[in-house]
Amino acid sequence: MAEIAQEGPEDYHEVEALYDLCFAPGREALSSYRLRDGVAPQADLCLIARGRAGEVAGAIRTWPVRIGRHGALLLGPVAVHPTRQGEGLGGLLIFEVIARARTAGHPRMMLVGDAPYYSRFGFERLDGVIMPPPTNPERVLGIALAPGAWEGLRGEVARAAGDGSAMTD
Ligand SMILES: CC(C)(COP(=O)(O)OP(=O)(O)OC[C@H]1O[C@@H](n2cnc3c(N)ncnc32)[C@H](O)[C@@H]1OP(=O)(O)O)[C@@H](O)C(=O)NCCC(=O)NCCS
């Protein structure tokens, strides 16, 4: 269907072009981008799906964030080229990132997105986990990669880097 690979520096502009094509203009004004500003992405969890001609047909990126002293992964953006949507590429990329994150020992992952789409991967509404405004709380979703990893975890989601404070997991 497509070849999955880790995004490399040489892929950056092609992935950005795909995101520009798939999202409304001004995507970088979304609150989730404030959590990514100045923070390096989780490189091993940024994947691309290449089509037969070598083109980037789908892409997914992941960033570290924190809730208090607890680390989490922020999934997204994920996008599939309009000519390739509905073939399962988006699902393939999301399942692959979840599997790699679990293998790497990350306890929890979250995203801002449509529950009807992401529930199929195991994402559920996160009560009390607050994204920077304006974010609809109904769209704040999470998946535990280790049992009970979201239990009792509440608070504001913040940038992973910048204030030098320690994290417990
Ligand atoms: C969302 C996206 C990544 C899905 O990729 P894809 O390769 O088309 O997805 P898949 O083929 O794995 O899955 C397709 C299924 O998801 C459903 N789906 C796609 N987007 C959905 C949404 N926002 N809400 C509910 N269901 C959705 C499709 O209807 C289809 O359903 P079916 O399996 O019952 O036919 C792709 O549509 C895309 O790039 N959209 C524009 C960018 C975007 O919105 N990204 C997500 C931000 S939250």
86-97 pLDDT, tens digit per residue, is 999 999 999 999
Structure tokens at 58: 């789908």
Mutate to test the pocket of ligand 1, among 112, 117, 141 (most ligand atoms within 8 A of CB): 117
The per-type count for the chain, helices as H runs and strands as E runs, is: 4, 9
pLDDT value of position 30: 86
* Ligand 1 centroid from CA 112, angstroms: 14
22 lines ligand 1 (CB under 6 A): yes
* Ligand 1 centroid from CA 88, angstroms: 8
Amino acid at 103: T
113 lines ligand 1 (CB under 6 A): yes
Distance (Å, whole) CA 57 – CA 51: 6
- pTM comes to 0.95
pLDDT value of position 31: 86
80 lines ligand 1 (CB under 6 A): yes
Which atom, in ligand 1's list, is nearest to the CA of 87? Answer: 11
Amino acid at 118: Y
pLDDT value of position 166: 59
Ranges in the chain, pLDDT < 50: 164
44 lines ligand 1 (CB under 6 A): no
pLDDT value of position 152: 95
CA torsion angle 13 18 19 21 (round to 10) = 120
pLDDT value of position 120: 98
